[in-house]
A and B are shown apart, each in its own frame.
Chain A
Amino acid sequence: MSLLQIEGLGIDFGGLRAVHDVGFSLKPGEIVSVIGPNGAGKTTLFNMISGVYAPARGRVVLDGEDVTRMPPHLLARRGLSRTFQNLQIFQSMSVLENAVAGHHLHERGSVFADLFALPAARRRSQASGESARALLDRVGLGRAAEQEAGSLSYGALKRLEIARALALKPRVLLLDEPAAGCNAVETEEIDHLIAQVAAEGVSILLVEHDMKMVMRISNHIVVLDHGEKIAEGEPAAIARNPRVIEAYLGAQATEAKHVDG
């Protein structure tokens, strides 16, 4: 049975069909990648699924419940978490505090207890602090815990976002270009991390430009072009699909030619 079901999802921006009639599904522990050339609507699709944009058409069903147009904080309560392509870090907080903030749903309590630092409030803070440190270790940022988040490298911030998203203990995790701006070693680390998280039963929806990574870790691939789904299937089948090669790899080949000059 699928955990996340996307049905005929679509949205328009001022007459432009940004995304049209996209549907697919995710099973628990499955890694599904959404690929496509720049401007194909991948991030827009993510924003609709995660409640940032309200879709004009279609449905998002999470574990049997229709969650279409539900605000992000309610989706978070139902176990859907995400990272962002353009980083959304809490800049003025330390690395550790960013990860602790991800525990919001597990640590929130009465404002009164928080104001007076009652034992209950301190216990909640301490528990989320310990969990946050473990998560930072897991993404390789344990030693940077006390640093200001703004001082980290781009690749490290990407991993911090993953740690923050994992803090929610999600059932579905949406990762928007987690390896962008990372070097080969970092990419491989993220690669392992994603596979591990999926092995624990979390469904992962991935947007990523690193084709090697996508082909290596995905169970299933959805290809978008001009806002529409042009193909979906197993990595090997997608790699051979002529429409995909034309739309996506073709575009890359053209880009490569431009670079070669």
Chain B
Amino acid sequence: MRLSSKATTLLILAAVIAIAPVFFPSSYYFRVGSLIFVNGLAVTGLVILIGYAGQISLGHAGFAGIGAYACALAPVHLGLHPALAAVLGALLSAAIAYLVGRPILRLKGYYLAVTSLGFGILVSMVLSNEAQLTGGPDGMAVPELGLRAVLKAIGIDLSNTEFWYAFSGLVLVLGAWLALNLYHSPTGRALRALHGSEVAARTVGVDVAHYKLVAFVLSAIYASVSGSLLALQNKFITPDVAGFMHSIEMVTMTVLGGAGSVLGAILGAAILTTLPQVLTIFQEYEQLMLGLVMMLVMIFMREGLLPSITRRIRGRAE
């Protein structure tokens, strides 16, 4: 029996997440793992936007910032449970993405990239400057999610790093499942169609502006949830989460691994999350190495790492 590409992707992802801890020599690796999953989630959202719909956003960290600070602020000021605060953050991100995207996505061209860039900068400035609310550049504490205590009460005793590894891994698999469902659905086809040829998509009845907006809003929700997970596991958050560099990192991860493939983009997130940890010994050369890797991949593997490699393997097999 031939497995569908959706089942294969989910199986590989779940297996790697479940088996990897066997090889972890210390709890530090659980921490790196959960960071990969958090970034992987944001990047999966960008696969919908960049890979499916062919639109670029340079401000998605802004949504991650909204998700992160929702978890820090809503429990204190609104008395919400942190989990509900994350949902609130996601709804807020979706609403803002809708309001920002609606007028912009009617236009053709690079308007979304520029507008989202401005939006991201705006969010990080607000977070830095509203010091009495957000603690400014020094950041602020985030309350405990509390799920680990619940698990402990029913007999599942996980260390903090183990819990966040498992929990963000689970959320990532869920996020990947949704994105893969979308790929093979009428909505996913409409997105990929408008990516392939906007004029042809319109003539088969695709409301191009509407579907671009759908992709933008969905990817904003992914980024927001990713920001919430980061805030909750760090229990502390600074405006860097919404910074321009974080936006660029997200896009770089997506494109490096392969924007058209969920698994590829998550691989990109894994590489770019791990590399700085590995390269700390060469700290001065870290940026240099990253730049070099990016350039080489774009020159020799334009579709991104995973799609290029699988294509080469398949080509050899035939």
Contact = CB atoms under 8 A, between A and B. Distances in A.
Interface of A: 50-52, 71-73, 75-77, 81-82, 84, 88-93, 97, 100-105, 107-109, 111, 113-117, 121, 124-125, 128, 164-165, 167-168
B204 A102 contact: yes
Contacts, number: 113
A100 B196 CA distance: 14
B184 A104 contact: no
Contacts of B223: none
B188 interface: yes
B202 A104 contact: no
Q: Contact residue range for chain B?
A: 20 to 34
A76 B196 contact: no
Interface stretch (B32-40, B206-214, B284-292): B206-214
A101 B192 CA distance: 9
B182 interface: yes
A76 B208 CA distance: 13
Most buried by A among B187, B190, B205, B218: B205
Given A73-B207, A90-B197, A101-B201, 16 more contacts: A50-B203, A51-B202, A52-B203, A72-B203, A75-B203, A90-B193, A90-B200, A91-B196, A92-B196, A93-B196, A101-B204, A108-B186, A111-B182, A111-B187, A114-B187, A125-B184
A114 B204 contact: no
A88 B192 contact: no
Interface string B122-153: 00000000000000000000000000000000
Contacts of B188: 114
B178 A88 contact: no
B185 interface: yes
Contacts of B205: 73, 76-77, 104-105, 168
B81 interface: no
A114 B182 contact: yes
B35 to A, nearest CB: 26
Contact of A128 (B182, B186, B203): B186
A225 B248 CA distance: 53
Interface of B: 178, 181-182, 184-190, 192-193, 195-197, 199-208, 214, 218, 260
A114 B203 contact: no
Given A117-B181, A125-B184, A88 B190 contact: no
B185 A97 contact: no
17 contacts: A52-B203, A73-B203, A76-B202, A82-B203, A84-B200, A88-B200, A90-B193, A90-B195, A90-B197, A93-B189, A101-B204, A102-B204, A104-B186, A111-B214, A114-B188, A121-B181, A128-B186
A89 B184 CA distance: 18
Contacts of B189: 93, 97, 100-101, 104, 107
Ranked 3 nearest A-B pairs via Cβ: A90-B196, A114-B185, A76-B205
Nearest to B198: A88
A97 B191 CA distance: 12
A114 B260 CA distance: 18
B192 A93 contact: yes
A115 B182 contact: yes
Given A72-B203, A77-B205, A115 B197 contact: no
A121 B188 CA distance: 11
A97 B234 CA distance: 43
B67 to A, nearest CB: 18
B199 A72 contact: yes
Nearest to B217: A111
A194 B205 CA distance: 22
B27 to A, nearest CB: 34
A127 to B, nearest CB: 10
A92 B201 CA distance: 14
A115 B208 CA distance: 19
A116 B193 contact: no
Residue among B182, B190, B203 with most chain A CB within 10 A: B203
Contacts of B260: 92
Nearest to B207: A73
B184 to A, nearest CB: 7
B206 A104 contact: yes
B213 to A, nearest CB: 11
A101 B187 CA distance: 10
A98 B278 CA distance: 44
A88 B204 CA distance: 11
B199 A89 contact: no
A107 B186 contact: yes
A101 B190 contact: yes
A89 B206 CA distance: 14
